[in-house]
Amino acid sequence: MNAETPVGSIARAQSVLAALARMPLGASFTEIMARTEFTKTTTHRVLSSLMDVNYVYQDPDSRKYHLGHALAALARVANRSDLAALARRSMRRLAEASEDTIFLSAPEGAVSICVCRELGAFPIRTLTLDAGDRVPLGVGATGQALYAATPKRKRMAAARANVAWMAEYNYTPETAEELAGDFDRLGYALNPSIVVPGMSAMALPILTASGRLVAAIGIGAINDRMSPERIEGELLPLLQSEVAILSDKFSELEQENLL
């Protein structure tokens, strides 16, 4: 297959990206040539194409090449897609057993991102979040679970950075810390109609065996279905069972450097 075919071009681009991934501090043009064993012309052509789509950028001072922000964004989306696929069976089991709405969120800096949502059979549904929605860390039940599982210094820095954004959801950094205290007391995160009146949710974080925070999974429903008795007698055991399954699954992937 010659160098001008689309597959050939993609393979060459992958070789350059892989070379840069092995050199996180950046690589010179000569270093990339050596790693890929491409000619000068091919290396220049591939780098130019990757820079055009922001997958690679060149530092104007050092002249070294680095992986770009667009590629990082693409990788984050791919990672969230992987999480959704890995958690799908657990989410479906929870939706079938509870008949309520199930949410999976992942942390990204000071942000909680809804990875996916699974709808239960109960006719009144909680649709406060959909896949791809972003809220401040600490907002909503899954965001609160992620917040509570984050080291205090790091989470408070995130809350301070998100003060104005959190206010849009009727939260403050103080609210987030109070709810983190409730998490420690209850053993789960509880959002009692803070974001949407009449709708409540509860959630648990998912950590690997090494303590890495991967995601949070939660159940949302109308207030009548979120009594303390139902949460602790029915929903919490369901969540704890699936969190244990997902924690084991994510831990195995982490050990294999696949997570």
pLDDT for the residue 4: 52
Which fold would CATH assign to domain 6-67?
Arc Repressor Mutant, subunit A (1.10.10)
State how far the Cα of 255 lies from the Cα of 208, in Å rounded to an integer. Answer: 10
**What are the extents of the domains in the chain?**
6-67, 76-255
pLDDT of 116 > 80? The answer is yes
Cβ 106 vs Cβ 134: under 8 Å? no
Pick the CATH number of 76-255 from 3.30.365.10, 3.20.20.140, 3.30.1280.10, 3.30.450.40: 3.30.450.40
Share of the chain above pLDDT 70, in %: 97
CA 76 to chain centroid, in Å, comes to 7
Per DSSP (E only), the strands in 161-232 are: 189-192, 199-207, 213-222
Instruction: Specify the pLDDT at position 60.
Output: 82
Q: Which of 59-63, 110-114, 255-259 has the lowest mean pLDDT?
A: 255-259
What whole-number distance in Å separates Cα of residue 176 and Cα of residue 149?
12
Copy the structure tokens of residue 120: 């239960």
Is there a shared CATH topology between the 6-67 domain and the 76-255 domain? no
pLDDT, tens digit, 9 for 90 and up, residues 3-47: 455 567 899 999 999 999 899 889 999 999 999 999 999 999 999
Tell me the pLDDT tens digit for each residue of 53-73: 999 999 888 899 999 888 877
> What is the three-class DSSP state of 126?
coil
State the pLDDT confidence band at 243, using cuts at 50, 70 and 90: very high
Cα 73 from Cα 37, distance rounded (Å): 28
Contact 65, 58 (CB under 8 A): yes
Sequence letter at residue 115: V
Whether pLDDT at 199 is above 50? yes
